[in-house]
Structure 1
Amino acid sequence: MAHAMRMFRYVAWIYLKYLFIVVFALTFLFAGLDYLQNADRLEGFNIKILYIFYKGSYAFDLLFPLTLVFAMIMTKIDLIRSNALVSFYALGYSKKEVLRPFILLSFLLTLLYIGMHCTTFVDAELSAKNLLHGKKNGVVKKNLFVKYDRSYIYIGELIPEKREARDIRIYEMKNGELHRIVYGMKADFENERWVVKDAKIVVKPLFERLGGKGFRIESKEGVETLYGFKPKILTSVFEGKQFYTIQAAYEAFKLLVAQGLDTQKVRSLLYHMTVTPFFALFLIVILFLFIPPYARSVNLFWISFALTGTALFVWGLFYLLFRISRSGVVAPEYGSVAIVSLLALFALHSYLFRSER
């Protein structure tokens, strides 16, 4: 057991070392090239540093699953060149035991990577674009017209960060007809509902008979309405936002389902953040077992080149399917979940049978 733990720590240390090198190199390369293209459009040293940081965060988000695979390839090539891998097998360690550090670490790091999408980490690209165009985060959204439950809402200005709306008009429907209109110059989102301040209400009568009541106008200090209609979800869903946290995407999904609207874009993003990253784990298992343990039997340069190209192809395929599924051409269940499931089955087959050869 002690010897197995030492082997585990040895392989895990080399893997983490190469992972750090690859993550830093690719992130810095991506952010550096982008900065060189746009440096003349950025004013101020602090703005430039922030831009590089946001672009680096976006590159990390985009490339991290791929770096897990690259680091495994580099680690195994290192073990082959140093004859450590042959020594492990000669000492009685199986392929499954040598593979175990890669599986455990990549699984835990993938969970951590997914967890990062529960934070504002996902807004890095949007923040970089705002800096590039001289905008500040939390800019005002103007002229929104949306549907929620049985109401149609027009908002002249929406400030998501302050949970505040200005020039708001709510057209409430009843039995398929306009029932009343709520006007207000300001509304705040408080305790999961909107409160329209100094509201003016126009109530449309139901014309059941001649001589009935006509239009009625009322004034109130505050009108509570639009329960659960969160301001950030409002702008995210109805402006086609591409950057969500996992919680926000789920809230957007529930909102769209409740309104009977198409959920394909949000579903594809949810799958992309929670399911697709696991392709790296399955690809690590498959590629590890396809790399021969002896340097003499194969040209290591060409095998590493081929495996790197394979990893890039699979990563590019998933990214392409994600973009296609967001456009509505392919259902996200086919573009993400099905492909990851097939890769998982192939990895399981390789782990059970190829590891015994």
Structure 2
Amino acid sequence: MEQPMRMFRYVSWLYIRHFFLIAFALAFFFAGLDYMQNASRLSGFNIKILYLFYKGSYALSLLFPIALVLSMIVAKMSLIRSNALVSFYALGYSKKEVLRPFIWVSFALTLLYISLHFTSFVNSELYAKALMQKKHNLSVTRNLFLKYNDSFVYISQLIPSKKEAKDIRIYKMKDGDLVEIIYAKSAKFDRSQWLMPDAKIVTKPPVEGLSSEGLKIEHKKDVQTLAGFKPEILTSVFEGKRYYTLQDAYDAFNLLVSQKLETSKVRSIFYYMAVSPFFAMFLVIIFFLSIPPHARSANLLWVSFVLIGTTLFVWGIIYLLYRISLSGVILPELGTVTAVAALGIGALYSYLFRTNR
């Protein structure tokens, strides 16, 4: 039992070490090139360091899955050149046993990558743009007009980062007739609903004749309304932006379903963040079994070049399918999900049958 565990730890550590070296090298190479182009537009040492950090985080969010595959290729080449791989096979280890550390490590790192999408990690590009444009707020959405349940909402300015809105008006409808208007100079989102201080409420009673009551106007110190209408997803949903966390995507999906609106864009984003990263783990399995165990049986440099090119090609196809599904041309399930599922079937076939050869 001790020998298989030692082999597992050795291969896992080799893979992890190469992964972090390649991932951070790619990320900061990308960030460095961008920094050289935009350094003149940044003022202050701290701003420049933050810009590099956010750009590096953004690059890492793009290149993380690719680094998983590239590090497997480099790690296996290292095992081949040091004759460690042949030694493992000579000691009686099967291909499945040597492959398992790569599978488990890539699976764990993929889950880590997906979990980062629950954080502001996905907004790194926005933070970098805000620094370059010298903005204190990530975004201010102006003149937002939308429907929520039986109400129409107008917001003059929405600041999602502060969860604030300015000059907000809510028009409540009943059976196609306007029955109430709520005005407020400002509003703040508190946990699950919007708080409107010093609100003016204009109520229109049913008109039955000349003797009917007129408009009723009252002022309230605090009005609580629009429960569940989160500011983080307002601009993303109604302006078509793509900067969601996984939680935002889930909330946006529920919001759009409740309003009986199209959900394909949100589903595309969700699948891209939660499903597409697994393509790297599937390629790890397929490519591991495609690399010959002996340096003399093939040109390893050429094999590495082909596999790296194939990795970039597959990643490009998945990203292209994501963008196409985002535009609504195809269903999200027929884009990213289908491509990753096909790779998963190929990986399962390779693991079950090619490891016995």
TM-score w.r.t. the length of structure 2 is: 0.96
Structure-2 residue corresponding to 1:165:
165
Distance 2:32 2:191 in 1: 44
Is this contact kept in 2: 1:127–1:137, CA < 8 A? no
Amino acid at match of 2:268: S
Distance 1:156 1:166 in 2: 6
CA distance change for structure 1 residues 282 and 139 in 2, over 3 Å: closer, same or farther? Answer: closer
Distance 1:31 1:204 in 2: 58
Structure-1 residue corresponding to 2:98:
98
Amino acid at match of 2:291: I
Secondary structure of 2:161 counterpart: helix
Secondary structure of 1:290 counterpart: coil
Structure-1 residue corresponding to 2:177:
177
Secondary structure of 1:267 counterpart: helix
Of 224-233 and 110-119, deviating more is 224-233
Distance 1:293 1:154 in 2: 65
After TM superposition, list the pairs within 5 Å mapping 1:114-193 onto structure 2.
114-193=114-193
Structure-2 residue corresponding to 1:287:
287
Of 190-199 and 267-276, deviating more is 190-199
Q: CA deviation at 1:165?
A: 1.9
Structure-1 residue corresponding to 2:302:
302
Amino acid at match of 1:89: Y
- Is residue 230 of structure 1 aligned with residue 230 of structure 2? yes
Of 228-237 and 318-327, deviating more is 228-237
Amino acid at match of 1:313: F
Distance 2:41 2:130 in 1: 12
Q: CA deviation at 1:233?
A: 1.9
Distance 1:242 1:116 in 2: 16
Structure-1 residue corresponding to 2:7:
7
Amino acid at match of 1:342: A
Distance 1:327 1:69 in 2: 29
Amino acid at match of 1:219: H
Q: CA deviation at 1:130?
A: 0.9
Distance 1:11 1:88 in 2: 11
Q: What RMSD over aligned residues (CA atoms) do the two structures have, in Å?
A: 1.4
Structure-2 residue corresponding to 1:60:
60
Structure-1 residue corresponding to 2:252:
252
Gaps of at least 5 residues in structure 1 are none
Amino acid at match of 1:262: E
- Is residue 25 of structure 1 aligned with residue 22 of structure 2? no
Distance 1:20 1:233 in 2: 33
Q: CA deviation digits over 1:50-101, x for unaligned, max 9?
A: 1110000001110001100000011111111121111111111100000010
Q: CA deviation digits over 1:153-173, x for unaligned, max 9?
A: 111122333332221111111
Amino acid at match of 2:85: L
Secondary structure of 1:75 counterpart: helix
CA distance change for structure 1 residues 191 and 108 in 2, over 3 Å: closer, same or farther? Answer: closer
- Is residue 346 of structure 1 aligned with residue 356 of structure 2? no
Q: How many residues align?
A: 357
Q: CA deviation at 1:240?
A: 2.2
Q: CA deviation at 1:139?
A: 4.4
Distance 1:295 1:308 in 2: 18
Distance 2:161 2:123 in 1: 14
Is this contact kept in 2: 1:195–1:223, CA < 8 A? yes
Of 309-318 and 190-199, deviating more is 190-199
Secondary structure of 1:157 counterpart: strand
After TM superposition, list the pairs within 5 Å mapping 1:32-71 onto structure 2.
32-71=32-71
Q: CA deviation digits over 1:103-132, x for unaligned, max 9?
A: 000000111111111111111011011111
TM-score w.r.t. the length of structure 1 is: 0.96
Amino acid at match of 1:281: M
Amino acid at match of 1:255: L
Is this contact kept in 1: 2:126–2:138, CA < 8 A? no
Amino acid at match of 2:118: C
Distance 1:123 1:137 in 2: 13
Amino acid at match of 2:352: L
Amino acid at match of 1:265: K
Q: Percent sequence identity over matched residues?
A: 62
Of 262-271 and 197-206, deviating more is 197-206
Is this contact kept in 1: 2:137–2:159, CA < 8 A? no
